[in-house]
């Protein structure tokens, strides 16, 4: 036994892991253990005290984050394509808004572009249709004018309803005019002027006998009025294009519910 003790001591001295610089590998320092244990206790106490001190409203808000605050790590291909097209639409609409304000590149032509837009507004067309209806003395003319009035009223109601549902704002912060408020044309999608001129041009091409130059001028007028709304910063390009589509659909709807001459005469007599 006495001989084995010096041998074990010599063996411990020769062991490299028993040196001072390697002690931390085998046995961590007590201070580190105490600091780690104290930090764990503090974090556990803070975690236990947190839910007790926080209000139930704050806990519900932290648990239910809105979708816009969450990052979508794996978006779908449709989502990527839609967001890309939307970004292109906004960028191109802002570039084409050359008359959005007086400081724009074409700011001096803003009044002329606004005047062009008034030619496609609903209030002047409704007023003009009523005046022509009062002065008309033929049954065929009254029939066409009554159905035109019906188409204009449907256009205002349909566009106002769609804009209230979409609530899309224009590319620029441009306030609607007085006539826009009267026809409830306060949002961007779809463009009310574009739907109206598309419906009117299709209506006149079908029910009026016009020469070819007048037909070409009518189509050009509809296109100019529609894209003038992009130039003044009130609508995006997709708003105008969708307005053209809705205008054509409104024309088809009026053709389906076309009022006969007897119905028109009955309504005129009541009025």
**Residues acting as catalytic residues:** 193, 235
- Return contacts of 51-58, CB within 8 angstroms, 24+ apart: none
3-state DSSP helix/strand/coil % of the chain, to nearest 5: 75, 0, 25
**How many angstroms separate the most distant Cα atoms in the chain?**
138
Say how far apart CA 217 and CA 210 lie, in whole Å: 11
Tell the burial category of 160 from Cβ atoms under 10 Å away from its Cβ (0-12, 13-18, 19+): middle
Say how far apart CA 149 and CA 193 lie, in whole Å: 16
Say how far apart CA 264 and CA 270 lie, in whole Å: 10
Cα–Cα distances (Å) from 56 to 5, 47, 60, 64, in that order, read 68, 16, 6, 12
């Amino acid at each position: 036994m006495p001989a084995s003790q010096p041998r074990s001591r010599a063996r411990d001295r020769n062991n490299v892991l028993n040196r001072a610089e390697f002690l931390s590998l085998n046995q961590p320092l007590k201070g580190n253990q105490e600091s780690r244990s104290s930090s764990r206790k503090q974090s556990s106490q803070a975690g236990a005290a947190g839910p007790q001190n926080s209000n139930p409203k704050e806990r519900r808000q932290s648990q239910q984050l809105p979708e816009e605050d969450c990052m979508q790590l794996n978006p779908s291909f449709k989502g990527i394509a839609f967001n890309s097209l939307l970004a292109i639409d906004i960028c191109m609409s802002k570039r084409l808004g050359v008359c959005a304000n007086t400081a724009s590149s074409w700011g001096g032509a803003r009044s002329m572009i606004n005047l062009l837009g008034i030619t496609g507004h609903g209030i002047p067309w409704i007023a003009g249709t009523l005046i022509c209806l009062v002065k008309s003395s033929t049954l065929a003319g009254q029939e066409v004018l009554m159905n035109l009035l019906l188409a204009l009223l449907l256009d205002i109601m349909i566009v106002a309803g769609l804009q209230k549902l979409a609530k899309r704002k224009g590319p620029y912060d441009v306030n609607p005019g007085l006539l826009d408020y009267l026809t409830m044309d306060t949002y961007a999608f779809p463009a009310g002027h574009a739907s109206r001129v598309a419906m009117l041009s299709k209506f006149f091409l079908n029910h009026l006998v016009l020469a070819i130059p007048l037909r070409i001028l009518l189509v050009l007028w509809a296109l100019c009025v529609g894209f003038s709304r992009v130039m003044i910063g009130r609508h995006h390009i997709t708003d105008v294009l969708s307005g053209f589509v809705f205008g054509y659909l409104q024309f088809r709807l009026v053709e389906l519910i076309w009022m006969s001459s007897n119905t028109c005469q009955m309504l005129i007599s009541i009025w």
